[in-house]
Chains A and B, each alone.
Chain A
Amino acid sequence: MKHARVVYQGVVHAATEKDGWRLLLDDGQLVSPDAVTWLPPLKPLEKPRTILALGLNYADHAKELAFKAPPKEPLVFLKGERALNGHRQFTQRPADATFMHYECELAVVIGRAAKKVKRDDAYDFIAGYTAANDYAIRDYLENWYRPNLRVKNRDGATPLGPWLVDARDIPNPMNLALKTTVNGQVTQSGHTKDMIFDVPFLVEYFSSFMTLNPGDLILTGTPDGVVDCQAGDVVVTEIEGIGALMNTIS
């Protein structure tokens, strides 16, 4: 099933996809996707959710960014929840930026507490998947805790959605095509099978030193093909079977 969280007539609703195009709200109303404001498709938590994001997790992207050898260990950074944004929302390009690029990423949503989980059991701990666009403003890249938060943790600069797709509906998340279009032109295309560290590895790796809790997110990195985007550009990051996440740069 595909789950969303939306605002309809000023009220926040959990919703599911109905008939392939409509939204069934939690109070039984059927509404058009155009009639709602989309939120990240995640239930609110009592404590802040942990948002882990991978850098250089596709061999071709690592090469693109002039890395001589692929990383031996995941390169990971954390984000705060205020970086998240919904489908069909806007992300700001700073006035002085010269290089702002999208990153189409498969996002894993944790379903139950995971500590010291082995890779063979990893899928048991996953609730589902969604699409992310992990924008970066490369102008602000410094070599201190790189990629530093000024590049990666800006308000609303990590759109997520539209759907949280149940894990049981995605039998193999390591076999999904990804693509990004900017104003309708394909600028990035890749495949989750090309990840350096796959989803089961990441669950095993992170849970080896920290507990992953329900609702936590792992953004699994982006393939080759990131380009600078301008204000007004419509960026759609799409993952096969998961959904097409639309964002406009403002």
Chain B
Amino acid sequence: MIPEMARGTVYGTLMNFKGELDALGAKMNAAPYNAPPKAPVLYVKPANTWSENNATIAVPGEVEIGATVAMVMKSAREIAGYVLMNDLSLPQDSFYRPPVKFNCLDGFLAIGERMRSRNEAGDPAVFKLEVRINGSLCQTVRFSQLVRSADQLLADVSEFMTLGPGDMLMLGVDVGRPRAKAGDRIDISMPALGTLTNTLVAEAA
């Protein structure tokens, strides 16, 4: 089950891990980008992408795992809690246009079932996620590496748009997104937020 509170628009954040910026390096100043991003770079994961914990997700081929945490909003500035997310995407290497065809496929956003408040989950700056494919650890995501802290991100996003109750803002996906394919089981876990498990299946022809 997706937490009762989590019923609003889901926003993802690009380039909020230092590793993402480092990986691009000088390319950020070249065409088509011409400059590093100034404001937070956001995208929407529409409702057709939502999957529950333990759901199977149909994929047309290899996908990239996007292990992250979302803030679930209680009001414009108040956070109800944090929840695990698996923000799946088809592999792609351009950040110039919104990647709708790559990341808005049905089921491509798994949402954890355990929402925990800041008091219960702790400071997001020390969050650490482990990503396993078929039981093998393949990525550790450290939120100490965020460009904008959770609070700073929320403040900078709120400068140009207001989040409403139930809206979700994902903190970002680090580089080195593990790839997975049909048949793989993906577990994303963090002690306070539990485990988000999904299995990929081949999309029916």
Contact = CB atoms under 8 A, between A and B. Distances in A.
Contacts, number: 107
Given A50-B46, A78-B46, A145 B97 contact: yes
Nearest to B31: A143
Contacts of B161: 80, 82-83, 149-150, 153-155
Nearest to B8: A48
A67 to B, nearest CB: 13
B35 A78 contact: no
Contacts of A230: none
A12 to B, nearest CB: 17
A211 B106 contact: yes
Contacts of A140: 39, 160
A146 B97 CA distance: 5
A52 interface: yes
Contact of B98 (A76, A83, A143): A76
Contact of A148 (B39, B50, B99, B106): B39
A147 B153 CA distance: 19
Give the size range of B's interface with the partner.
35 or more
Contacts of B44: 78-80
Q: Which of A47, A48, A140 has the most CB of B within 10 A?
A: A48
B8 A150 contact: no
Chain B residues touching A, majority SS: loop
A100 to B, nearest CB: 13
Contacts of B97: 75, 77, 145-146
B124 interface: no
A210 interface: yes
Given A144-B41, A209-B101, A47 B7 contact: yes
B104 A143 contact: no
B98 A145 contact: yes
Interface string B33-47: 111011101111011
Given A50-B48, A78-B98, A143-B33, A149 B42 contact: yes
Interface stretch (B9-17, B78-86, B134-142, B173-181): B9-17
Contact of A78 (B8, B14, B100): B100
Interface string A205-234: 000011111001000000000000000000
B12 to A, nearest CB: 10
Interface string A134-145: 000000101111
B160 A154 contact: yes
B4 to A, nearest CB: 12
A216 B48 CA distance: 10
B164 interface: yes
A213 B46 CA distance: 11
B100 A81 contact: no
Interface string A39-51: 0000000111110
Contacts of B69: none
Given A50-B47, A154-B161, A146 B35 contact: no
A149 B162 CA distance: 12
B91 to A, nearest CB: 15
B191 interface: no
Contacts of B164: 82
Contacts of B95: 144-145
B105 A210 contact: yes
A61 B32 CA distance: 20
Contacts of A213: 47-48
Given A47-B7, A82-B9, A144-B41, A210 B48 contact: yes
A79 B35 CA distance: 24
B37 A144 contact: yes
Interface of B: 7-11, 14-15, 32-35, 37-39, 41-44, 46-50, 95-101, 104-106, 160-164, 167
Given A142-B41, A143-B35, A154-B161, 9 more contacts: A52-B100, A80-B9, A82-B163, A115-B106, A142-B37, A142-B38, A144-B96, A146-B96, A149-B43
